[in-house]
Amino acid sequence: MGPFLLTLAFALSIVNFAVFLLLFRKQQNNYMFFTFVAIVVSCFGHWLLGFSESVDGAILANKINYLGSAFLPMLMFFTLAEVCRLRIHPVVRVLLIAFSCFVLFLSFTVGYSQIYYRTVEFVVQSGAGNYVATYGWGHDVFNAMILLYGVLDIGVIVHACLMRRLVSLKNIFAMFALQLVTVSSFFVSRYMENDMLCMPFVYLADQFFLLYISLNVKWYDIARSVMQSLEKDNTNAFVSFTPDGEYLGCNEIALAFFPKLAVCRVDVAIPDESEMGAVFNPLLKQVESGKSRNAFKFWFGNRHFRCSARTIPLWNVMQICLFRVEDDTSVQMYVDTLGKSHNQLVKVVEQNAQAVSAIQEQMIVGMANMVESRDGNTGGHIKRTSQVIRILASEMRKDMAYGRMDSFYDALISAAPMHDLGKIAIDDEILRKPGRFTDDEYEQMKTHAEKGAVIVENLLTGIEDPFFVQLSKNVAHYHHERFDGTGYPQGLRGEEIPVEARIMAVADVYDALVSSRCYKESMSYDKAGDIILSGMGTQFDPVLQKYFIDCEPKLRDYYRTVEH
C-alpha cells in the first residue's frame, strides 16, 4: 500500500505542476513556480525512498528529498511576501538563501558524518522502504529553520492584515492555512515517525492552496495590468470590482479624485453607508441590471465626473467590472454657463413641443371618441379604461422590481385611448348592433384589433417617437390576446404578448364587467374582482395580480364617482 500511495502522491504533484504552468505561465510570481518545483522534487525523493531496498538507497533518496524540502520553507516565505506586496531587503534575501543552502549541506553529510544523523537504520513500513535515525545537532538546525520561517510568516500575515489594505484577505488566510498545515503536519508526523507517507500528501495540499492563491493573484494582476496599460498619457481614474461588488483596486488618479479609496480593503465589498459606497455601489447595481450603456454622471465634492463602465472577461467564466472616471467639471461649468443664457430659448422650444403634443393628443382622443360615438355599447369606455390604466400604473411605478421606467407608464397612459381605434373600420350594422353578435359578426368585430394597429401606425409614424408608436400599436393590436394563448388576433401566449397589451387587457375587461351595456347590467365590484383574479394565469398575466389587488380599492372609488 505504501509504494502505491507514494507513487500517487508523486504523480499528482506533477499534474498540479502542469496545471500551474498551463494556467499561470505568464504570472509574475517566480517564487510560486520554484515552490512547485521544490514540492515535485520532495515528492520524488519520498517516492525513491519508498522503493529503496538498503540503507544506502534510503540515504540517497533522503538527500534528493532535501533538495526540495530544504528550500521549501524559504520559497513559501518569499511567495507569501510577494502575495502580500512586502519587499524583502536584498541582503536579507541572500542571508535566507545561504541559510537554506547551509541546511542542505548539513543534510548531505548523512553517511559521511554524525552531524545530521548519528545513526541510520533501514526499515520497511507499510510495504515501503524507510529509515529510522537518531538526530544530530544538524537536524536541530533544520527544525530551527522551520520554526524561524513559521514566525516570519506570521509576522508578514499580521503586517498585511493591519497595514496592507490592497492585499486580498482570501490570499492571506489561504497562505496562513498553508503554513499552519505544513508546519503542524511536519512535526506531528515526525513525532509519530510516519513522515515518509504523510509529508507527500501535505505537499499536495500545499499545491492546492497555491493554485487557489495563484487564481486570486491572477485576478488582481489582471485588474492591475489593465489599469497600468491605460496609465500612459492618462488623465482618468480607473476603479475595478469583481462581479459580486468586491473592490479590487484603483490607479493613482482615482486616489487623487477619491482619497478614501486608500482605506478600502481589496477583496471586500465597500459598505453602502460609507462615502465611497455611496459613489460606486449604485453604479455597480446599474451595471448589474444592464443599465450601463450610457455614461454615468455625478457630482462628488466640488467636481463633476463622467463615468463609463466595461466588463473584462476572465477565462470566459468570470469578469471584472472596470470604471473609467473622467473629471469633466470644466465642461459641465461651460454647459451650465451656456444653459443660463439659453434658458429662454429652451423654454420656447419646450412650450412649442408641448403645444404640438397637446394638439396630437386631442386629435387622437377625438378620433377615439368618434369611434365610441358610433358604438352604442361602450359609451364612456375610452375615458374609464384610460383612468384604470392610470391607477394601475400608479401602483406598478412603486415596484422597481417590475423593471419598467416612468417613461413606459407615461406612454402607456397616452396610448390607452387608442386601443379600440380599429372599430372605426367596422360596419355600423355590426358596431351598433344591440345584443350579442352572430359568429360571422363576431369574426368581423375581431378584425378591429389588426385594423387598429394599422391606423395607429399610419397616424403616428413620423410624428411621434418610434417607441411610443410601437407601444401604441401593441396596445391596439394585442389587447384581446389571452395569457393561455386562446385570444385573438394571433393567439399569442404568455410573454409573447407585449407587456403593455397585457396591462391593457386587464383594464379593458374590468371596465366591461363593472359597466352596464345594452345587453347586460353592470356587475358588482366584488364579483368583477373575483373574475379578474380567477383569470390570472389563463386570461391575464399572473404577474399583474398583486398590482390589481393593491389598486382595486382605488378602482372602486373611481367608478363610484362615475356612477354619480
- 241 shares its domain with 218: no
Tell me how many domains the chain contains: 3
Please report whether residue 454 resides in a domain.
Answer: yes
pLDDT at 220: 46
> What angle (nearest 5°) sits at the alpha carbon of residue 471, between those of residues 470 and 476?
95
- 66 shares its domain with 197: yes
Please name every residue paired with 240 in a beta bridge, in sequence order, or none if there are none.
249, 322
Please report whether residue 9 resides in a domain.
Answer: yes
Please report whether residue 322 resides in a domain.
Answer: yes
- 348 shares its domain with 314: no
Pairwise pLDDT comparison (381 vs 550), residue with the higher score: 550
Helices (H), 85-168: 90-107, 137-163
pLDDT at 359: 47
Q: CA–CA distance from 528 to each of 423, 492, 520, 522, 533 (Å)?
A: 25, 25, 14, 9, 9
Type and span of the H or E element at 296:
strand 296-300
Percent of the chain with pLDDT over 70: 79
- 546 shares its domain with 486: yes
Please report whether residue 333 resides in a domain.
Answer: no
pLDDT at 50: 85
End-to-end CA distance of the chain: 95
Which of 162, 190, 225 corresponds to the end of one domain? 225
pLDDT in tens, 329-368: 887 777 666 655 555 554 644 555 454 455 455 555 555 5
Q: Name the phi and psi angles at 77, rounded to 5.
A: -65, -45
pLDDT at 314: 57
- CATH at residue 551: 1.10.3210.10
The answer to whether 84 and 29 have CB atoms below 8 angstroms apart is no
Q: What residues contact 133, with CB distance under 8 A and at least 6 apart? A: 117, 118, 119, 120, 121
pLDDT in tens, 185-222: 766 766 666 666 677 788 777 778 777 776 665 444 44
Which of 225, 240, 265 corresponds to the end of one domain? 225
Amino acid at 398: K
Look up cell 538527500; give the residue: 63
- 31 shares its domain with 101: yes
pLDDT at 273: 85
Work out whether the CA dihedral 114, 115, 118, 121 comes out positive or negative. negative
Please report whether residue 253 resides in a domain.
Answer: yes
pLDDT at 535: 93
pLDDT in tens, 241-276: 887 888 888 888 888 888 888 888 877 888 888 888
- 312 shares its domain with 391: no
Please report whether residue 448 resides in a domain.
Answer: yes
pLDDT(401) > 80: no
Peptide bond into 417 cis (omega under 30): no
pLDDT(137) > 90: yes
- Look at 109-118, 171-180, 431-440, 544-553 and tell me which has the smallest mean pLDDT: 171-180
* DSSP-based helix, strand, coil % in the chain, nearest 5: 65, 10, 25
Please report whether residue 38 resides in a domain.
Answer: yes
pLDDT(230) > 60: no
317: number of CA atoms within 13 Å, CB side?
3
At 48 the three-state DSSP class reads helix
Domain that holds residue 486: 341-563
The answer to whether 6 and 195 have CB atoms below 8 angstroms apart is no
pLDDT in tens, 497-528: 999 999 999 999 999 898 876 666 788 899 99
3-state secondary structure string, 236-287?
CEEEEECCCCEEEEECHHHHHHCHHHHHCCCCCECCCCCHHHHHHHHHHHHH
**pTM for the complete prediction?**
0.44
Q: What residues contact 421, with CB distance under 8 A and at least 6 apart? A: 367, 368, 371, 452, 455, 456, 459, 476
Q: What is the mean pLDDT of residues 134-143?
A: 90
**pLDDT band at 97, cuts 50/70/90?**
very high
Share the mean pLDDT of the chain. 80
pLDDT at 27: 52
- 201 shares its domain with 348: no
- 247 shares its domain with 152: no
Work out whether the CA dihedral 289, 290, 291, 295 comes out positive or negative. positive
- 73 shares its domain with 159: yes
DSSP codes joined into one string, 450-508: HHHHHHHHHHHTTTS-HHHHHHHHHHHHHTT--TTS--SSS---GGGS-HHHHHHHHHH
Alpha-carbon gap, residue 99 to 102, rounded angstroms? 5
- CATH at residue 136: 1.20.1070.10
3-state secondary structure string, 395-433?
HHCCCHHHCCCHHHHHHHHHHHHHCCHHHHHCCHHHHCC
Q: At what angle do helices 499-514 and 406-415 cross, to 10 degrees?
A: 50
Q: CA–CA distance from 525 to each of 155, 382, 491, 520 (Å)?
A: 75, 19, 29, 15
- 145 shares its domain with 183: yes
- 403 shares its domain with 352: yes
Task: State the chain's maximal CA–CA distance in angstroms.
Answer: 120
Please report whether residue 336 resides in a domain.
Answer: no
- CATH at residue 275: 3.30.450.20
pLDDT at 246: 85
Which of 187, 209, 225 corresponds to the end of one domain? 225
Dihedral in degrees, nearest 10, Cα atoms 67, 70, 73, 74: -90
- 460 shares its domain with 558: yes
The answer to whether 347 and 363 have CB atoms below 8 angstroms apart is no
Residue 282, sorted as left (phi over 0), alpha (psi -120 to 50) or beta, turns out to be: alpha
